[in-house]
A and B are shown apart, each in its own frame.
Chain A
Amino acid sequence: MGLNESLFSQFWIYLKDLLQGDMGRSFTTGQPVTQDLMERLPASLELTLLGLFIAIIVGLPLGMLAATHPNSWIDHICRLLTTSGVCLPTFFTGLVLIYIFYYLLGWAPAPMGRLDLFSSPPQDVTGFYLIDSALAGEWAIFRSALAQLILPSITLALFALAPLARITRAGLLGVLNSDFIRSAKAAGLPRRVILVRYALRNSLLPVVNTMGMVFSYLLGINVLVEKVFAWPGIGSYALEALIASDYAPVQGFVLSIAVLYVLLNLIVDLLCSLIDPRVERAA
């Protein structure tokens, strides 16, 4: 590693190794960081994507309903959820959910990783336990993995839901007041067509942008949530390395999050140009 060399040479060595996919070796696990990260990344991604998925399927309709029924009870529920989602720190919501659903009610399994003690991981295809167990037809493992996923992903979803629902509501409300919605009404288009084909698609652009932003927040938030739920992902890996002053994993973690972030923004931009033809032209 050249620790006796000058800082510049050390950095040069680091860069050369990096180009070959070598992020150094962890002191605590004794394994190459790249291998550690690759083993743990699917666990983090599975959790984050499921959290985002729940946030989207709850947040978008909630925002839409709130926009089409302003000041109704659904609008108030939306406001309550988004405000509390923003205000409560995720490790706290995570602890509260564990306290209620595991300790008090006993509905959820112990927050101890991706599977309960009696299950073994499914055959590795994608690294996502839900997909792998479904592919292998091992429904007992699927159920176990899902049960373990529910609380942490809801914790993440509660956090991600707030900006999504709020932006959807605001965007749709703005579009519904615009001139072309008025002309669509004057032309006698059915309400459903106006709402979906005209209003929703036009308000989707800020929503997709927010989705990208929320996903990157989630990658950061993951560090705490994974710790609370003893999730064997890259977040808890980085946190443990940080406490042990094990710098290579931390570097690797930061770098891989940055790469994920860039990829994500690329996907968001591509999606935007699909939705709005004007974006493509401007680029």
Chain B
Amino acid sequence: MHTNLLLSVQNLSVAFDTRHGRVAVLDKVNLNLHKGETLAIVGESGSGKSVTAYAALGILDPAGKITNGKVEFEGRNLLELSSQEMRKLRGRDFAMIFQNPRTALNPIRKVGRQIEDVLQAHNPGMGAKARKEAAIEQLASVKITDPTRRYNAYPYELSGGMCQRVMIAIALACKPRLLIADEPTTGLDVTTQVVIMDLVHELAQAHGMATLLITHDLGLAADYCSRIAVMHAGQVLEDAPVATLFKGARHPYTARLMAATLQPGITLEKLVSIPGQLPDLRQPQPSCRFSTRCERCLPQCKEPGLALMPYSNNTSHLIACRNPL
């Protein structure tokens, strides 16, 4: 199993220096992603999903500091690499697509040229003609019709869905082994969302590429991923295969999240919202950051030493809770 490990995030903690002092955004995040696997990170806005991905890729805002932990990609600790070495890995070994594809593309550069920029960055020896052909081929591979003409299009001339296809074409230009999709369907209409997700899924299968999907949509995660990690306020609370999670979520937060998710046969009135808000991370936090919102909170929940552990000896179902369901 371990030889298959592609990305391993171990006890990753990230803090941001703000004018209100240091904010501990991530608290000992643990994630494992195997080759060809699809993992979703699910959580509310501000739960640290994107920050985890940015920290792993080394594109964290300068205000953010990694205070603890390790990020291993095929056994190499990424946090020990120089920024130059990291740059060479980004885009070639792992790539990322973002939400709001319209603003995520350079507005005044032809989309074909933007694909070429990535090809040039990672294949310095490639000739101009070969690069252009590869860029057009790349546009065709994300099912953009008439790629030769679209090569000359600017992002503002394309629809949101088209822009996301271009983003995918850029991300996959160098055939990475890991694709991180950060809310790739936010800002797209529902029918386009499905098409884009199907495209990502299909391309990932075709290239044997692992996918890390960051989303707040539990339903989307269930449809496209084999495993789900639930995050809350910078902590991973539960990590399990989709079927296990939907059959028997053990963490009170996961259960709450599911009760708040729209499913067939459930009317809007039956949806239950999760009480309270994400805790204010500027204040010192108890060991379990969900404890203040949790109806199953015990006195020992506030004590330090909470860790992600296998639930009843099932190594594929991890949970960080002292009073699970």
Q: Mark A167-210, 1 if CB is under 8 A from B, else 0.
A: 00000000000111011111111110100011001100000000
Within 8 A of B (CB), among A187-241: 187-191, 193, 197-198, 201-202
Contact among A187, A198, A275, A276 with B91 in the assembled complex (CB-CB below 8 Å): A187
Q: Does B77 sit within 8 A of A, measured CB to CB?
A: no
Residues of B within 8 A of A190 (CB): 87, 121
Q: A178 to B171, alpha carbons, bound, how many Å?
A: 18
Residues of A within 8 A of B203 (CB): none
Known: A179-B104, A183-B96, A278-B107. A197 touches B90 (CB 8 A): no
Within 8 A of A (CB), among B95-146: 95-98, 100, 103-109, 117-118, 121-122
Instruction: State whether A186 touches B57 (Cβ < 8 A).
Output: yes
Instruction: State whether A276 touches B108 (Cβ < 8 A).
Output: yes
Instruction: State whether B98 touches A187 (Cβ < 8 A).
Output: no
Instruction: State whether A201 touches B117 (Cβ < 8 A).
Output: no
Instruction: State whether B108 touches A193 (Cβ < 8 A).
Output: no
Instruction: State whether A183 touches B170 (Cβ < 8 A).
Output: yes
Q: A198 to B121, alpha carbons, bound, how many Å?
A: 14
Known: A277-B154, A278-B154, A278-B156. A187 touches B107 (CB 8 A): no
Residues of B within 8 A of A277 (CB): 108, 154
Instruction: State whether B108 touches A183 (Cβ < 8 A).
Output: no
**Minimum C-beta distance from B311 to chain A (A):** 34
**Minimum C-beta distance from A75 to chain B (A):** 14
A-B contact count (CB 8 A): 79
Q: Does B296 sit within 8 A of A, measured CB to CB?
A: no
Q: Does B243 sit within 8 A of A, measured CB to CB?
A: no
Closest to A202 in B: B108
Known: A193-B117, A277-B154. A185 touches B167 (CB 8 A): no
Closest to B106 in A: A180
Instruction: State whether B98 touches A183 (Cβ < 8 A).
Output: yes
Instruction: State whether B154 touches A178 (Cβ < 8 A).
Output: no
Q: A193 to B114, alpha carbons, bound, how many Å?
A: 11
Closest to A190 in B: B121
Q: A182 to B92, alpha carbons, bound, how many Å?
A: 16
**Minimum C-beta distance from A168 to chain B (A):** 17
Which A residues lie at the B interface, using CB under 8 A? Answer: 178-180, 182-191, 193, 197-198, 201-202, 275-278, 281
23 A–B pairs (Cβ distance < 8 Å), ordered by A? A178-B103, A179-B98, A179-B103, A180-B103, A180-B104, A180-B107, A182-B59, A182-B104, A183-B104, A183-B170, A184-B106, A187-B170, A187-B171, A188-B87, A188-B89, A188-B92, A188-B121, A189-B121, A201-B108, A276-B108, A277-B108, A278-B154, A278-B156
* Given A188-B89, A202-B107, 14 more pairs with CB closer than 8 A: A180-B106, A182-B104, A183-B97, A186-B90, A186-B96, A188-B88, A188-B118, A189-B91, A189-B118, A190-B87, A190-B121, A197-B117, A202-B108, A278-B107
